[in-house]
Amino acid sequence: MANGKYERIGRELVKHGSIIDIYSDRMSLPDGREENWDFIDHLGAAAVVAVRDDGRILMVRQFRTTVSDYTLELPAGKRDRKGEASSEIAARELSEETGYKADKLELLVGFYTTIAFCNEQIDVYLATGLHKGEQHLDSDEFLSVETYTPEELEQMIYSGKIIDAKTIAGILAYLRRK
């Protein structure tokens, strides 16, 4: 029925993945036609722009199978369980991946990473008042911590050395707001 609206009239679970669940949705379009749309369910995540007292920002270098290479990104990780606050994820991932704890966490910016087909939402926090502790990586994480000035990071964004959307959005938001 052409009711001028988009409506989901069916949803089939295609695959329960390791970090995502994949669905095929049957959609009714505003003109009454029907189509199958992909939908990916993700618990969401948080990332951290962690700025040391000397102004340098903590970055992690890790392997990404999507590009078959190591990438430089903000410390980040996904929600452990539904309902976990994004500030809690941010504090945990900062500590696990870099060993640092922060006196202060403020929300910088939040977004959906791939709004066309996935509900992954990432909140990016600014972390300040940093104190060094121990790294506690997940069992499949092997990553190294590096530090850069904001100006170096911005150059790396425009020269294609930083290629990760959450990292780019988070650093640019920090640069606009500081």
* Binding residues for a second copy, total number by CB under 8 A: 63
Q: Is 8 in the site for a second copy (CB under 8 A)?
A: yes
Q: Which of 115, 137, 144, 149 binds a second copy (CB under 8 A)?
A: 115
Closest to a second copy by CB, 134 vs 139, is: 139
Q: Quick check: 52 and 58 in contact, CB under 8 A?
A: yes
Q: Quick check: 23 and 39 in contact, CB under 8 A?
A: yes
Q: Is 145 in the site for a second copy (CB under 8 A)?
A: no
Tokens of 163: 């290629």
Q: Quick check: 40 and 119 in contact, CB under 8 A?
A: yes
The single-letter DSSP state of residue 91 is H
The string of DSSP codes covering 7-41 is EEEEEEEEEE-SS-EEEEEEEE-TTS-EEEEEEEE
Minimum gap (Å) between residue 42 Cβ and a second copy: 8
Q: Interface with a second copy by CB under 8 A: which range of 52-60, 81-89, 92-100, 114-122? A: 114-122
Q: Interface with a second copy by CB under 8 A: which range of 50-58, 92-100, 113-121, 126-134? A: 113-121
Q: Is 71 in the site for a second copy (CB under 8 A)?
A: yes
Instruction: Tell me which amino acid residue 48 is.
Output: V
Closest to a second copy by CB, 33 vs 132, is: 33
